[in-house]
A and B are shown apart, each in its own frame.
Chain A
Amino acid sequence: MSAGSTDTAVRTGRITRTALYLVLLLFALFYLLPFAIMVINSVKPLTEITGGNMMALPQDWTFDPWVKAWATAQIGVDPTGLKPYFWNSIKMVVPAVAISTILGALNGYVLTKWRFKYDTLIFGFMLFACFIPFQIVLIPMARILGLAGLAGSTPGLVLVHVVYGLGFTTLYFKNYYQVFPTELVRAAQIDGAGFFRIFWRLLLPSSGPIIVVSVIWQFTNIWNDFLFGASFADFDSQPMTVALNNLVQSSTGVKEYNVHFAGAILAALPTLLVYIVAGRYFVRGLMAGSVKG
């Protein structure tokens, strides 16, 4: 976004401006409401929810639903709460994000600074992989994970997420390194630096922003994934999203809405946190998703 253009050429009158603000505020309400209500109702006792008004603030503040969602709620067969699944997600997300980002950085470096015949074609193949409907790989992936002894395991999920995130990370780094001056690489070559040294000493030190973009994008996507988790995980490797769905959809017993909400917020918390801390980069990541970056 260009910084210099503070003065807009478009002028608007008073009435129009009031209408503008009104519409914008209405939409802000639309976006905030569902989540806000979820937060409010997660600290209400169940009776207040089923009997009362969802917009009303709690009369009895209680954090029991949160504690229950985290530690004791019945998910699957055991009353473990979401806690173990939260750690499953962490154990899956961290290596998957790290590996796919490192590979993406190297790929982007090769594809922009060490070009060779058919490199655009190869990039095209990688990029296309971002957009395939994952349903097409579900059956063979289940087979391969089974054959490799990775079925239902966290390393299996890491592999899956690395493979299908690679296209995006490569795209990010390629777009970023594309505008990194090639003359610098040439100067370093004349100075006698080799492939890895140029990467390590020249490109990597100025890759901070794009590393953040890539990490945030991968983190959000992998954390929020449901399809792969639901398809390839076992009870001891299920990620947070799958556990949350099991919690919410469980048909046994009373529906404890407040616990569901607390669980949903718990599942959303890491990505929301990332978004609050590094929202700027998050937007950039989304933008770069539109290929051009």
Chain B
Amino acid sequence: MATPAADADFKTKLQTWVPKLVLSPSLALMLVFVYGFILFSVYLSFTDSRILPSYGWVGFENYDKLFRLRHWDIAVNNLIVFAALYIIICSVIGLMLAIFLDQKIRGESVLRPIFLYPMALSFIVTGTAWKWFLDPGIGLEHTMHLWGWESFHFDWIKNRDYAIYTVVLAAVWQSSGFVMAMFLAGLRGIDNEMLKAAQMDGATNFQLYHRIIIPQLRPAFLSAFVILSHLAIKSYDLVVALTGGGPGRATEVPATFMYSYTFTRNQMGIGASSSVIMLMTIVAIMVPYLYSELREKN
């Protein structure tokens, strides 16, 4: 409803203002705490802030330093490896489980919650469980040795070159069930009569999935990609709980980098600039997605 005529009665006038008034506190909170804060952080990233915010303008110096830091290099590389593997493996496992579950499986109602429950856990809990499970001295390796498989060797969590893959493993464990649920919903939404028609046309099961069903899951793929990539970039808790960024700096990611530079190393300017880079990455992924979603709706 647009603006009322000038001679509108009181009730009509009131009704055009009340909704806006109701929305305004939320909007104000958002403007200050999200957009205002983003501006403030961006501003700080151009200052010489150390332990506390200070307002000496240093231009791009922080970014310059940031990109020269080996520590940041490691964090970015780790994030790329982590995000790529996390998204791909979650999608593959999620799609596979969804397709399998969609074959009129007996006990689906038991299996589905089992696949999904890790999503209800905190990353800290997940980290605690996997940290120990993967600990060679006491977890899986130790148990295998006790069972007589002496040559079994699995110490990735202690190994600089492989530790990041344990983060992937734990993260996949936590999120793949969720991707499964998204794909399953997509599969259940596909018109069964169309599949029957395709079978009449002589399509095999594989062709059915490859040519007809999976292409129609495009929206689910897109949603999964967006959500997983955003979880990956924000990942902080899991790394802290599982490896603490170690061994050494082997599993540092931008989220842990930002936290340690800002709050423990007192390099707030650099910390702020790293958070700006993180935001820009998310913006590059989210804005086109949200734009297309919202435009479609109207």
Answer whether A and B touch in the complex at a CB cut-off of 8 Å: yes
Q: Give the contacting residue for B133; candidates A6, A37, A265, A292; CB below 8 A.
A: A37
Is B149's CB within 8 Å of the partner chain A? no
Contacts of B128 in A (CB 8 A): 38, 244, 248, 260-261, 264
Binds A, one of B59-67, B80-88, B136-144, B153-161: B136-144
Counting contact residues on chain B (CB < 8 A from A), the size range is 35 or more
> What residue in chain A is nearest B234 (Cβ atoms)?
A133
Point out the residues of chain A lying under 8 angstroms from B103, CB to CB.
8, 10, 12, 17, 20
Which secondary structure dominates chain B's binding surface? helix
> With an 8 A cutoff between CB atoms, is B223 at the interface?
yes
Q: A193-209 interface mask toward B, CB cutoff 8 Å, 1 = contact, 0 = none?
A: 01110000000000000
Kindly identify, within residues 17 to 33 of chain B, every residue whose CB is under 8 Å from any CB belonging to chain A: 18-20, 22-23, 25-27, 29-30, 33
- A170 and B26 within 8 A (CB): yes
Cβ of A47 under 8 Å from chain B: no
Stretch with Cβ within 8 A of B (4 or more), from A26-34, A59-67, A70-78, A149-157: A26-34
B2 touches A (CB below 8 Å): yes
Which residue of the partner chain B has the closest CB to A216? B120
Which of B36, B104, B223 is within 8 Å of A8, CB to CB? B104
Write out the residue numbers on chain A whose beta carbons fall within 8 Å of the beta carbon of B34: 125, 128-129, 132, 137, 163-164
Contact A49:B138 (CB < 8 A) given known A20-B100, A292-B293: yes
Among A212-234, those with CB < 8 Å from B are 220, 223-227, 230-231
Q: Which of B117, B131, B224 counts the most A-chain CB atoms under 10 A from its CB?
A: B117
Given contacts A224-B121, A248-B241, 16 further A-B contacts (CB under 8 A): A5-B192, A7-B192, A21-B105, A107-B22, A132-B282, A135-B255, A136-B41, A136-B279, A140-B36, A195-B19, A230-B240, A249-B244, A260-B132, A267-B124, A271-B122, A290-B220
CB-CB nearest 5 A-B residue pairs: A9-B195, A290-B223, A114-B19, A224-B122, A226-B237
Interface residues of chain B, those whose CB is within 8 Å of chain A, are 1-2, 11, 14-16, 18-20, 22-23, 25-27, 29-30, 33-38, 40-41, 44, 53, 93, 96-97, 100-105, 111, 113-126, 128-133, 138-140, 142-143, 146-147, 173, 177-178, 181-182, 184-185, 188-189, 192, 195-196, 198-199, 205, 208-209, 219-220, 223-224, 226-227, 230, 233-234, 236-237, 240-241, 244, 254-255, 258-259, 262-263, 268, 271-272, 274-276, 278-279, 282, 286-287, 289-291, 293-294, 297-298
